[in-house]
Structure 1
C-alpha cells in the first residue's frame, strides 16, 4: 500500500505591499496566448503605499496585436463600499510540500480594439450626427431622454468593432457549444423564466420548487427563529425583522408564533423574506451610507448572498446595482418563498400593497412562476380556513399541472 504524503497549508509570509497572484475575469472574450499582461500601481514618493497590494488601487493591462485589455482593482473600489467577498489563491510548492495561501485582488477586464482607436469618423456621416445628438441630449435633455440615450448606448452593437476579434469569438463558440443539448432535448423557455428552475414532474405543489435552490443552508441558519419565538411583544419582533412594515409578514408571523416550535421553518422563511423586502428597499436608495443603514439588520452572510444573486456589476459606479431584470428575479424568488409560507395560495392584493407595486405586475410575476390566478372555491376555503360566504379576491394558486404563460410572438415583454 502506498503511503500517503501529508501536505501542510500555510499563509503567505510575503509583505502585504509586494505584488502577488491576481484573479482576472474576461466577460465574453478570452485573450489569446500571445497577450502579455502587466500590473501597475500608484507610487507615492516612489514607495508603495502602506495599505498593501490587495487594497490599493492598481491597473491590470494586457496587450496583443489586435486587442487591449484593461481593468482597475475592484477590491480597492469595493473596500469603501463594504465588500464581504475576498478571493484567495492557493499555490502548491512541491519543494517544501506546502500549500501557500494568499489573498488576491479581482480584475474584471474590458476590451479595446486597437484599429478602432485610429479609425477617423467621416464628416457628415449618420454616425457622427447620432453622436452629436446624443451629446446634446446628455447636456440639455430631460431625465427620461438621458436615460433612453444611456440605454441605447449600452445596447448598441457595432459590427465593425468585431472584425478583429471575430475569429476569437467563433473559436470560443465552437468549443463551448459542442456539449450543448439539442433544442428538442431542453426547454429553452426555462432559461427566460425569472424564478428558480421548476420540477416539471412534480406530483404536488410542494415538489415544484426547492427552498434550498433559493436560500442556501448557511443563510437559512443565520435566520433567528429562536429570537422571534422568545420575543415578548410584537414591537420586540419588529426590532428583530430587517423590514417591519409588511402587513403580510406581520400576519403570518403572528400565526407562526401561535404554533410554537413546530413553526421554526416558517419563522426562518419569514425572516428571510423580510431580508428580501429590506434588501429591495435599501437598493432603491441613493448613496452607499443609506444602503448600509437600511440593511443593518440583515445578517452579513445573507447580505452577501443577496448581492451576489440579485445584482450586477456597474460600469458607472463602484458598487453593484439592482437592474430591472434583477428586480424581477428577486421578486420571483421571493414569491416562491411566499407560496411555501402561504400554503401555495398567495394573497396577491396584500403582497402588492406591501411592495408598493401595481397588482397587475404582481399577478404577471406569479404567472411567470407557474401560478394560476383564481378565486378560492369551497375546497380551497376549507383547506385555507377562509370564510365560506365572504367574497374574496383572486389568489395565486400553485397547482398541478403547472400553468406557465405561453411565449408571446414578436416582441418579448418582461414582467
Structure 2
C-alpha cells in the first residue's frame, strides 16, 4: 500500500504517535499510527512498472549508491529467462518525483497499529533480452548503471578477490572514443584479411583432396563416371589376380576355398558372374579384389607383422599383398620385425580409406546402390559405422523396407537398425569435412 504524506490535521493522539518509532493502542476499536524512522538493512521500495509486470513471487536485488551527493539513490534489478527489470529513482542526475514523499504502511492486527516507513519510488524499465542490441542508448545507460552499482557494492563490501576483479575489469574496459579514431585502420585490416581468405570453392577443393577416396570427378553427370575404377584396381594389379580357379570350377564348392572373406555378398556375386556362358572377367577380378580387401579389413595389426602369413590368409599373390600394404597401411616408425624389416600397421586414417574403397567396389558391383546392413554384417561392424562409410563416398541414405532388404541382400547376419539403402547419385555430394584431425 502506498500513500502521499500530507500535512493535514489529525488527532492529538495521532500527532504524538507520529514522533515515536511505534505506539500501542489505548482502547479497543482505536487504531494507532506510527512512523518507523530506523535505518534497517532491508528497506521497502515502491515500484512503478512501465510495461510487463513480473510474477508476484519475484525477488529483486536492491542497491544503494555510495555517492555522498546521492545517498537516497536506489537501484532494483530482477532478471528472468527472457526479460530484465531495472528500476531506479534517479534519471539524468535528477531524483524522480522530488516534490513528493511516499510511505508504505503495515497493519498489525494484534496491536491495531499501522506502521509507516519511507519508501523511494522507482521507475522500472523492461528490457527484452532478444532485442537488447537494438534498444539504443537508454538500455546501455541502464546496463551501465547496474554494473556501476554492483561495482560500488563490491568495493564497499566485497572481499579482496572481488575488489581485484573489479579493478581488473576497469583496466580492461574499452574506451569507445579511442576505438572510433582507429576505425579506418581496423576496417582496412579486416578487408585485407578477408581478401586473402579462401573462397567456399577453394575450401571444398581442399577438402576433396584430403578425402580418403579413389580419384573422382565431382562434376560427373552419371554415377558410373564419378569414380575412376582404374585407380581403385589398376590394370597392373589385375593381371596378378588369378581367376582360373573360378573359371574352371563351375561348382561353388570348388572355388570357395579361394575366397578369403566370409561374405555372402562375395559368394553370391561370384556365383552370378559364373552363372552365364561368358563370364565378365573385369567384374570377376573386382569381386575377387573386394574379397581381399574385406579379409584385410578384419586382420589385426599384430597379424600384419608376418607378411607371409598375410599372403596365405588372403589367398593372393605377393604383388597384390604388397599393393594392399602400400595403400592401406603406414610404416610404424622405430619398430622392426625380428628379421629387421619395418613394421606396417593400420591406423584410423588408413582403415577409413580401406573401408571407402570397399564401399566403392560394392557399389560398382551392384549398380551403384548398396545396403549398409550387408556391409556391417560382412565387416562385423555397427550399422551406423557402415552408413557413415557410404556417406563418406558420397552416397545418399534413403529408407528401405525389410522386404526390400531381404530380397536384395545375401547376408545371413543382418545388423540391427539396417533399414537404409545407400545410393550414389550424380553430381556427387560429400559430407562436410570433420574438424578433427586424422590419427
TM-score by length of 2: 0.46
Structure with greater strand share of residues: 2
Q: Which has the larger radius of gyration?
A: 2
TM-score, length basis structure 1: 0.49
